Structure 1
């Protein structure tokens, strides 16, 4: 009888121990899985809930959020490329009238996409200005795009003179290519200007994995645009920079 009681006690201990082991395993599994899910989901939830979405790229791989905002403009943004984020001091006016344009495309030719952000910085009578930002999708560093001022200084020469009939004779030398054309009248006869002015209109666009820049040349303070410089960029791997590749000059017809 004593042996039978001892056996029952031993069997109960084994069964109870087994139940405890199963419970411990379940608890351990819950403790392992739960933190992992929190790590992967939490950053995405925080980004979407705390920051205002300015806009995404067409494929949704690139998103731009307002990080610091005043009554007149967004003064700081957060760029999200496939879930990886970085802040940039890019300003976006609330009065520009044009939303930022976002692209995700391979501009460098290395088989990897870059994020491209085009922002309107100013507009008005005779004025239309944009800036462009290209960001490496691996390390989220910005790749330099040659400024229009440097392109004009290094690659464009112009000369303006007045014909006997009151029209203007304009000569342009862009990267060694010389173009001559006349403009129908002198829009600023009292304004002494012997070369074209730039900067009133600076428009960046994307075309077939290329950066394009429309940069009209003008005469007068107003200004009057007499020709358009259509600029195509190329990527310089040695300097890790987008520089001018081609410049085509197109006279403005009145």
Structure 2
């Protein structure tokens, strides 16, 4: 039900905004090298690639390697002179990629972090995140938000008799119960909250966080934020969920 509603919601958002996204908002992180993108130490010249973004002190630089009709289809990442190509797609949403160079794994060595806006429109704002080992440029997995929603978050939506909605969210042993001030789709039967329209990654105090908008209706109307903080799991070499907090909205909020 969550996925079906999420697809309807995203299609509606794109139609309303006129924006096109390359993804539904799901974040897919792949780690490791392939023969097609080995690490090199060759310099990227301005004549070959355009600098898109860089970290504050320019330790990490992101270059556009292939661009077709305004869409960047392949990039080169440069970390202290080492380079590697990735097939990350970057569309022109008006928001440039963000690049960071900081220690997220608590090993005393900074990682390269790239956050890319994958779509923006009315009620629609999605990002991807990539975290790389700065020494060998291998990508470190970040647990997919859909996996977290499906395995660790339970939601329920019920219609009240006064044209309001009763919302219940359960996560990490806590239960949140609140009413939403109106029913945006009286003729639409929705038993669970939908996700995928708002997926915003950010760094805060050397922690990876993601804000998920939880919505009702096809338009959509957002009733709460699910704020997830990640932690690094050394055994898995992966960023996994640490804390989940729910922030209810009293009134309608756009993405």
TM-score by shorter chain over 0.5:
yes
The counterpart of 1:61, out of the listed 52, 56, 59, is 59
- Structure 1 partner of 2:14: none
Q: Greater relative contact order (Cα 8 A, min sep 6): structure 1 or 2?
A: 2
- Structure 1 partner of 2:156: 159
Matched residues in 2 for 1:71 and 1:182: separation?
46
State the Cα distance separating 1:188 from its structure 2 match: 0.8
State the Cα distance separating 1:166 from its structure 2 match: 2.2
The counterpart of 1:242, out of the listed 239, 243, 248, is 239
Q: What are the within-5 Å matches in structure 2 for residues 84-163 of structure 1?
A: 84-94=82-92, 96-163=93-160
Matched residues in 2 for 1:190 and 1:72: separation?
40
Matched residues in 2 for 1:47 and 1:233: separation?
36
Cα pair 2:42 2:83 within 8 Å, conserved: no
The counterpart of 2:70, out of the listed 66, 69, 72, is 72
State the Cα distance separating 1:185 from its structure 2 match: 1.0
State the Cα distance separating 1:106 from its structure 2 match: 0.3
Equivalences, count: 211
Residue 187 (structure 2) pairs with residue 190 (structure 1): yes
State the Cα distance separating 1:164 from its structure 2 match: 2.4
SS at match of 1:151: helix
Matched residues in 1 for 2:62 and 2:106: separation?
24
Deviations 1:146-197 (A, max 9, x none): 1111110111100111222221111100122111111111111111001100
TM-score (norm 1): 0.81
Q: What are the within-5 Å matches in structure 2 for residues 168-179 of structure 1?
A: 168-179=165-176
CA RMSD of aligned residues (A): 1.2
The counterpart of 1:47, out of the listed 12, 35, 45, is 45
TM-score (norm 2): 0.80
Structure 1 alignment gaps of length 5 or more: 1-41
Structure 2 alignment gaps of length 5 or more: 1-40
Matched residues in 2 for 1:43 and 1:86: separation?
10
Deviations 1:50-93 (A, max 9, x none): 21111111111000001111013000000000111000110001
Matched residues in 1 for 2:164 and 2:84: separation?
53
- Structure 2 partner of 1:203: 200
Deviations 1:16-56 (A, max 9, x none): xxxxxxxxxxxxxxxxxxxxxxxxxx943x43442111111
SS at match of 1:119: strand
Cα pair 2:102 2:111 within 8 Å, conserved: yes
Residue 248 (structure 2) pairs with residue 251 (structure 1): yes
- Structure 2 partner of 1:229: 226
